[in-house]
């Protein structure tokens, strides 16, 4: 599948039907998930109605790490095979990953204030997620401020691959260090599990939709730039 989509023309054909499909999946799952989360699901014995933040916060946390794994894979492909589509994908994943991470931190702080009485604690989980946000921002800065785009691709790919070390730190931080943050909950009853998984599907569909859209935009922009350069070169030759 990856080899098939590595061809820009085939990717554009894929994007033509994938973008509206992912968008529709996002809208449907989001509406169902919000209805389940805000209306159907019960309040928590400990957190009360504040537990509903979980349906936004936890999927955002999962997608912040999932987006980074996608970024790592695209960066590896870029570093080894130097493929432009991998660079387009990596940048799209980084942008969305930064948004998911920021949303995770904001909703986590709100939930922490209601549950722990504090907006922020420098414990392992929260600090490592904050580091993840900085990694995303630094990655995007490399692309923005490196003039030579071939060098930017190499530097950004290396940086992204090194940054992967932070993902297991985030995952196991609550087990390695004393933390206010609760460990991962694996058993949710149906009343809470259904809205949670609907919201997770919505986040995944949103990620697929926007990243596919961004890669398609980058391909079309690159083609337009090449055409403009050809026209400029042709005009210059005619003027000689």
| pLDDT tens readout for residues 190-234 | 889 999 999 999 999 999 999 999 999 999 999 998 888 777 766
Sequence spans of domains, the chain? 18-181+195-239
Mean pLDDT calculated for residue range 45-70:
91
Task: Say what the pLDDT of residue 203 is.
Answer: 98
Q: How far apart are the first and last CA of the chain?
A: 47
Helices (H), 117-189: 124-145, 149-163, 166-176
Q: Which two tokens stand for residue 40?
A: 């159907």
Q: Which residues touch 16 (CB under 8 Å, ≥6 apart)? A: none
Instruction: Report the alpha-carbon distance of residue 26 to residue 37 in Å, rounded.
Output: 16
Quick: pLDDT tens for 131-172.
999 999 999 999 999 999 999 999 999 999 999 999 999 999
Mean pLDDT calculated for residue range 106-132:
91
Q: What percent of the chain has pLDDT over 70?
A: 95
**By the 8 A CB rule, do 69 and 207 touch?**
no
Residue 63 Cα to chain centre, angstroms: 6
Instruction: Report the alpha-carbon distance of residue 102 to residue 193 in Å, rounded.
Output: 24
Does 103 have pLDDT greater than 90? yes
Q: Mark 187-199 as b/e (b = at least 16 C-beta within 10 Å).
A: eeeeebebbbbbb
Q: What is the mean pLDDT of the chain?
A: 91
**DSSP label at 147?**
S
């Amino acid at each position: 599948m990856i080899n098939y989509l590595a061809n820009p023309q085939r990717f554009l054909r894929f994007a033509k039907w994938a973008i509206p499909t992912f968008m529709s999946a996002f809208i449907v799952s989001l509406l169902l998930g919000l209805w389940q989360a805000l209306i159907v699901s019960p309040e928590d014995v400990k957190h009360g109605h504040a537990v509903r933040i979980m349906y936004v916060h936890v999927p955002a946390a999962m997608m912040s790490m999932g987006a980074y794994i996608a970024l790592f894979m695209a960066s590896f492909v870029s570093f080894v095979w130097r493929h432009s589509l991998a660079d387009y994908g990596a940048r799209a994943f980084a942008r969305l990953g930064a948004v998911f991470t920021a949303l995770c931190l904001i909703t986590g702080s709100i939930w922490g204030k209601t549950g722990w009485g504090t907006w922020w604690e420098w414990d392992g989980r929260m600090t490592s997620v904050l580091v993840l946000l900085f990694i995303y921002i630094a990655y995007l800065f490399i692309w923005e401020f490196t003039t030579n785009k071939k060098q930017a691709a190499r530097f950004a790919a290396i940086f992204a691959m090194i940054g992967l070390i932070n993902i297991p730190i985030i995952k196991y931080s609550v087990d390695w260090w004393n933390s206010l943050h609760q460990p991962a909950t694996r058993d949710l009853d149906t009343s809470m599990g259904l809205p949670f998984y609907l919201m997770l599907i919505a986040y995944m569909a949103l990620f697929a939709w926007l990243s596919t859209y961004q890669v398609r935009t980058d391909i079309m922009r690159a083609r337009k730039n090449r055409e403009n350069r050809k026209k400029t070169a042709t005009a210059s030759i005619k003027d000689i």
